[in-house]
Structure 1
Amino acid sequence: MSIQVIIVLILTFIIYIISTLAYSVRTVAIKTGRIAISFAVFNIFALISRTANTIQAPLMAKTIENTIETGHPEDLLFIFRWILFSTTLATIIGALLMPTFIKVFSKAVDCFSIHRSIPKLLLHGFSKSGIEQFKSSVTKPKRENLAQLKNIKMMPKKIILLNIIAFSISTVGILASLYAGCLNPSLRTTCSSLSAVINGIATILMFVFIDPFISMLTDDVIKGECTEDQFNRCIIFIVGGLIVGTILAQFLLVPGAKLISYIAKLI
């Protein structure tokens, strides 16, 4: 693999860990009672994770050009499948790290309420005391949390399904557009530009259906209309949906690329 591909794999891995850990901030909002500050921190993580995928296109540009010249698109498909595998692995690791980062974010929210500055918060995080606090926050995932996945009957299935669909589209959108351009080199610019539309659809689904639902559930916990255990169970299902979404992206890659290529011909 080229250096550009290795960089994409590493950055994608980091991005999807951040994307998964962002959902632990919702639990922090319940535990600390600092809803506004917690959501501000969540929005920072969500913004990073939902826009950082755009780095894939420029970093993969040279690899795509070489693939078009050699006329072997299957080589590019192999690379893309490795990138998607890295998203699945990163999401699983992010899920396992959530108990630790719930404690870390709780301390970060308290620290933010004192410093009232994201740059100062970041500097504190990399200080000696910040590193010591991180070490003391390391926590193993509990088996009973995984056992919550058996209680799917109590969960809103439409929200879970929409979450899986939205995350799979977001994961595969840019890669499918790039692969479509490789399958149809004469329209690769049009295919690449369609990635923004695809990611826009996924983002709209998340902002219109998923995020408001979790926000309303958070309010229900604060008002006593929903227990903290029920809220945590919902977050577990949402994160589980992220993992399923990355796996689904593997199956959507080729059909999605062919659909994008077809739409590019119609435009």
Structure 2
Amino acid sequence: MPNQVIIVLILTFVIYLISSLAYSVRIVGVKTGRIAIAFAVFNIFALISRTANSIQAPLMAKTIENTIKMGNPENLLYIFRWIIFSTTVATITGAFLMPTFIKVFGKAVEAFSIHRSIPRLVLHAFSKSGIEQFKSSVTKPKRENIAQLKSLTMIPKKIVLLNTIAFAISTVGVLASLYAGCLNPDLRTTCSTLSAVVNGFSTILMFIFIDPYISMLTDDVIRGECTELQFHRCIIFIVGGLIVGTVLAQILLVPSAKVISFIAKLI
């Protein structure tokens, strides 16, 4: 496996790990009562994710170009499947790290309220006291939280399903368009631009249905109209849906690539 692909796998893991942990930001906001500050501090992690994403694309493009020149573009399929598998591993890892992240992030939000500066907060994180706080925050997922997955009562099933579908589409969108370009090298530019259309559909689902619901539920918890337990159960199911979404992306990869390739020929 080329070194560029290994780097892409690592970057993909980082990106989707942060994406899965993003849902715990709302839990921290509810616990601390400082939702705006929680999102402001989380922008540090979002910056890391966006930087990794910007490096990922050119590395993958170079691998594709070299493979097409060798005349075996179909051989890239296993690489794309490995990339999707890394998203699955990252999402599962994020789910198990959520209890620890919630504690660490909660302390970071409290520290930001004191220092009122991101650079000072970063320096505090790497200080002796910051490292000690991190060690004391390491927590295993509670069995009762995992057991909650067995009960589907008072769970927004439609929202969880839509989130799973949206995440599967966003996971496979760019990869399917790149693979479609590998299958049709003469149309690879057209295929790559169609990824924006595919991801646009998942973005519409996220911004119209999913994000507003989670925001509304967050406000309900703050107003006391919803318990924190119900809110936590909803987040657990949504994160569980992300894991299912990455598995669904494996199934959608080849069919999506063929559809994109067909559309590229029609345009």
* Structure-2 residue corresponding to 1:69: 69
Q: 1:120 to 1:207 in 2, by over 3 A?
A: farther
After the TM superposition, which of the residue ranges 66-75 and 154-163 deviates more from structure 2? 66-75
**1:87-126 alignment, distance < 5 Å:** 87-126=87-126
* Structure-2 residue corresponding to 1:13: 13
User: 1:119: Cα distance to partner?
Assistant: 2.9
* Structure-2 residue corresponding to 1:139: 139
* Structure-2 residue corresponding to 1:79: 79
After the TM superposition, which of the residue ranges 88-97 and 125-134 deviates more from structure 2? 125-134
Separation in 2, partners of 1:20, 1:108? 18
User: 1:134: Cα distance to partner?
Assistant: 0.7
**1:182-201 alignment, distance < 5 Å:** 182-201=182-201
1:128 is the counterpart of 2:98: no
Letter in 1 for 2:79: I
* Structure-2 residue corresponding to 1:174: 174
Letter in 2 for 1:239: V
Judge conservation of contact 2:29–2:38 (CA < 8 Å) in 1.
Answer: yes
Judge conservation of contact 2:166–2:203 (CA < 8 Å) in 1.
Answer: yes
Q: 1:212 to 1:46 in 2, by over 3 A?
A: farther
* Structure-2 residue corresponding to 1:250: 250
Judge conservation of contact 1:64–1:76 (CA < 8 Å) in 2.
Answer: yes
Q: Secondary structure at the match of 1:155?
A: coil
Judge conservation of contact 1:23–1:42 (CA < 8 Å) in 2.
Answer: no
List per-residue Cα deviations over 1:208-229 (Å, max 9, x = no partner). Answer: 2212111111111111111110
User: What RMSD over aligned residues (CA atoms) do the two structures have, in Å?
Assistant: 1.8
User: Once superposed, which parts of structure 1, at least 4 consecutive aligned residues long, lie more than 6 Å away?
Assistant: none
List per-residue Cα deviations over 1:47-95 (Å, max 9, x = no partner). Answer: 7657854543311122211221233233200011011111101110110
List per-residue Cα deviations over 1:164-201 (Å, max 9, x = no partner). Answer: 01111111111111101000101101111122232233
How many residue pairs get matched?
267
Separation in 1, partners of 2:140, 2:239? 17
Judge conservation of contact 1:15–1:52 (CA < 8 Å) in 2.
Answer: yes
Judge conservation of contact 1:180–1:260 (CA < 8 Å) in 2.
Answer: yes
* Structure-1 residue corresponding to 2:226: 226
Gaps of 5+ in 2: none
Q: Secondary structure at the match of 1:225?
A: coil
* Structure-2 residue corresponding to 1:162: 162
Q: 1:171 to 1:70 in 2, by over 3 A?
A: same
Judge conservation of contact 2:74–2:182 (CA < 8 Å) in 1.
Answer: no
* Structure-2 residue corresponding to 1:239: 239
